[in-house]
Structure 1
Amino acid sequence: MRKYVLLSTALCLAFAFTSCGTKEDAYKKAYEKAKAQEEQQNQQKPVQDEAPVVTPLAEKPADQTTVTNVNNANVRSENVTVVSGKGLQAYSVVVGSFSLKANAEGLQSTLKQGGYDAQIAYNPQVNMYRVIASTSDDKASAVQSRDAIRGSKFNPKSDAWLLFKK
């Protein structure tokens, strides 16, 4: 009798293990289901046959020069003292700002070799030495001088700006 019980238990176990699907079968079913969903989504999307047409930008050379509006030119107002130079007038063109005086003197000598009457002014509030390429009493000539310096080799970054001495 024990033989029959043992045999029937083994048979039941064998049947249980063979009736369950393998993991590979489960992965295969999940893959096929995802593939079917992807195909269904692709069928629902409209197909674009052609890429959108983009018109190229045509560059035209400038046929006129623009005049800087003197009244709208940005001007910084600072209280500075002249360290090296003849003295400042109302408007000055600053081409460099340095925390070390030696660096400011280097740019000043370069500008002087280029024909500018360069000066150095010190702003104690920000602890900066300002290298000034030119100075004038009226704003219009200071703007013209700034624009000329911006296009020169002495100011390649085009960062010259106007300073109004307090």
Structure 2
Amino acid sequence: MKIYHMLATAAIVALPFVSCKTNEANYKAAYEAVKEKTETDSGIEGTIYEKIRKESVNSHTVIGRDTVPTVTVAVKCVKGVSLPADVKSYNIAVAQFKQVFNARSLMERLRGYGYNTATLVETAEPLYYVIAVTTDSAEEAGAAYEIVKADKRVFSKTPYPLLLRPQRYPLAE
């Protein structure tokens, strides 16, 4: 009887170690099922933010002999920081932030570096673009792009700096 009792106890103890375990194949199958279900639910739009991101257009603009990365996006002026007259057709954006505090901080540093036209614009998401230079002509924008790109004080992560073209112009506040 003692032997049966010990065997039963050993079997109960060993059961969790030899039972069905999840493995990579199980996770992959579940992931594929969820991914397929998400793709088939195309009747409902994802989020409004996905729609906004899809409306922005990423391209390149040829200015003189240079090719400048360009984004065309619907933006508006940031209340208390910029006016529609401050933002022109060609804008050199050096960064994008989710928090207005960070964007304002960089804008103030740019103004301290001598970029007196530095300003902010925001998308509907809201994402805040920090603009170092704003001009009305493509040639001036190309020259400003090269100056900002060469300025070591203006630290920008890829893909910045870039040319920001407002989708709705003039900008409404």
Shorter-chain TM-score: which interval? 0.5 to 0.7
**Unaligned stretches of 5+ residues in structure 1:** 1-66
Secondary structure in 2 matching 1:74: strand
Q: Deviations over 1:83-124 (max 9, x none)?
A: 123421101000010000000010011001111121010011
Is residue 165 of structure 1 aligned with residue 166 of structure 2?
A: yes
Partner of 2:146: 147
| Match runs of 1:132-143 below 5 Å | 132-143=131-142
Partner of 2:90: 91
4+ residue runs over 4 A deviation: none
Secondary structure in 2 matching 1:144: helix
Secondary structure in 2 matching 1:107: helix
Partner of 1:110: 109
Q: Could you tell me which amino acid in structure 1 is paired with residue 147 of structure 2? A: A
- Residue 92 of structure 1 contacts residue 164 of structure 1 at CA under 8 Å; is this kept in 2? yes
Change (3 A) 1:154 1:79: farther
Q: Could you tell me which amino acid in structure 2 is paired with residue 137 of structure 1? A: D
| Match runs of 1:51-130 below 5 Å | 69-70=65-66, 72-83=67-78, 84-86=81-83, 87-116=86-115, 117-124=117-124, 126-130=125-129
**Unaligned stretches of 5+ residues in structure 2:** 1-62, 168-173
In the alignment, the residues of structure 1 paired with residue 76 and residue 153 of structure 2 have an alpha-carbon distance, to the nearest angstrom, of 23
Higher radius of gyration, 1 or 2: 1
Q: How many residues align?
A: 98
Query: In angstroms, what is the RMSD of aligned CA positions?
Result: 1.9
Q: Could you tell me which amino acid in structure 1 is paired with residue 65 of structure 2? A: N
Structure 1 length normalisation: TM-score?
A: 0.54
